[in-house]
Structure 1
């Protein structure tokens, strides 16, 4: 029994690490599309959600031929939860994060998004689901300090951004916290492909009423633009969110959100390697702190369970 639990936990760790990594790399690719191909934020959010949602639901139907894709909608309770998760979770976390980047910069946007572990722990404390432990404090401290150093290279001056960038960034952190917590009951009843697929399709459909994805001038697109866009759809959206949400079947929302700090790590690494952005000493220290947090969650807590 203990071996089965450990295998499921290992699978959860692998899923959240891959999901966060794909999301981080996808952010770097999106930055390239914004800066060099003049792709609008709203268009990218609506189109990526629609296409990724359709692909995920199709994948579920291919792998579960006898099952109905509409099973979530058979009761009012699950239908309401799915709609709320789609709008306040999936759509909100996508749109608020991209808006914070567009108005401010990716460093501040990502740093504010990773207030999510604090929001999650605050929720559990207020609802008395759990108490704040010393281990929680250590993990959160390593995450926030490491992410700050990684994204700013230790300089507070990089945090000087318009108020609205901070506003959208904090909303992004709240959305990620809601996303991580609210999905758990749905995952206990339905396959993660359906939960994520429908949330993307609903979010993209609602977004389309305000920013139509079919209104785009493709004449300026190059072959590389198409490749980068497909990467964002498949890896940066579809697989990133599917893997992250699937990990919540095996990990707590607190653990998943903390391990999600691999997102800024992969974003910085790909920016240094691909976009030729410099990498400072404080960023190296931040990287070590994030890796230390991951080691702490995977090794120390395993020892705690074995006692």
Structure 2
């Protein structure tokens, strides 16, 4: 059966979103049931994924991989992206999963677009639109329901998980806004490849890749390979390729499947307790993202 270009793009972005959501669930399994340390998985994921991306970039455009280091205006931004952006996003997200669960960690991370809008509004000194104000208020309401289940006197997840989840949203917002010029000039594969590789090398001083902690068996190895290959490389490739067939705004909308897939898989596979309040919070935050993705400005 032949697929149209648009259908192919939709399948790609939906698959990437499901792989991203699934990698969080697999990470929760590794942390909470197999005893794998967050620090080790962050180091290994960044190193292997980054090196593979750079190899792919070198095969496609050999001179481009190292040309970025010859540009003195790109060196420092790339280092900052690696240390603050890449390590920040990876570690805070996995720490939120370890101390809580993949479902709430993924949904809390999706508050990043709200932070981006607030930053752009503040920087441009412009008055936020009614839609943006409603989106921000809805995101706050969604966060309340997600972390309390609707009960203002109790948290459904640990305060540590809330902290790491919100930190993950801040890190993702920075990671989204900061490298725009780098991406325009050098392309996503080269920039992300170097950011991951440098981030992995830097984090090796925190936890070296050969200092493994946890159970060593087939499920663990399969889980780590899934996080690296499907949850990182293939997901990144599919999302990037989908941009050839769809508008960026369309890919952003379809990518909202990621938190839904994380919640669904967490409930079905890991039997995470996700009540009505948490579902309300999730839908509020996803609605926020959908609203902001349609703001033309």
Give the TM-score normalised by structure 1. 0.76
The residue aligned with 1:202 is 198
The residue aligned with 2:266 is 271
Inter-partner Cα distance in structure 2 for 1:251 and 1:129: 25
The residue aligned with 1:180 is 176
Shift of 1:176: 0.8
Using the TM superposition, name which of 44-53 and 103-112 deviates more: 103-112
1:124 aligns with 2:109: no
Inter-partner Cα distance in structure 2 for 1:140 and 1:158: 21
Assess, with a 3 A threshold, how the Cα gap between structure 1 residues 143 and 172 changes in structure 2: closer, same or farther: same
Structure 1, unpaired ranges of 5+: 1-6
| 8 Å Cα contact 2:28/2:101 also seen in 1 | no
Shift of 1:266: 1.6
Inter-partner Cα distance in structure 1 for 2:248 and 2:265: 27
Inter-partner Cα distance in structure 1 for 2:141 and 2:225: 34
The partner residue of 2:53 within 28, 52, 56 is 56
| 8 Å Cα contact 2:103/2:266 also seen in 1 | no
The residue aligned with 2:31 is 34
- Pairs aligned (count): 288
The residue aligned with 1:84 is 80
| 8 Å Cα contact 2:108/2:165 also seen in 1 | yes
Inter-partner Cα distance in structure 2 for 1:18 and 1:72: 31
Inter-partner Cα distance in structure 2 for 1:79 and 1:248: 27
1:100 aligns with 2:92: no
| 8 Å Cα contact 1:114/1:144 also seen in 2 | no
The residue aligned with 1:190 is 186
Q: Cα RMSD between the aligned structures?
A: 3.7
| 8 Å Cα contact 1:151/1:283 also seen in 2 | yes
Shift of 1:158: 2.6
Inter-partner Cα distance in structure 2 for 1:140 and 1:241: 28
Assess, with a 3 A threshold, how the Cα gap between structure 1 residues 170 and 242 changes in structure 2: closer, same or farther: farther
Using the TM superposition, name which of 271-280 and 281-290 deviates more: 281-290
Inter-partner Cα distance in structure 1 for 2:284 and 2:169: 20
Shift of 1:154: 3.3
Shift of 1:131: 4.2
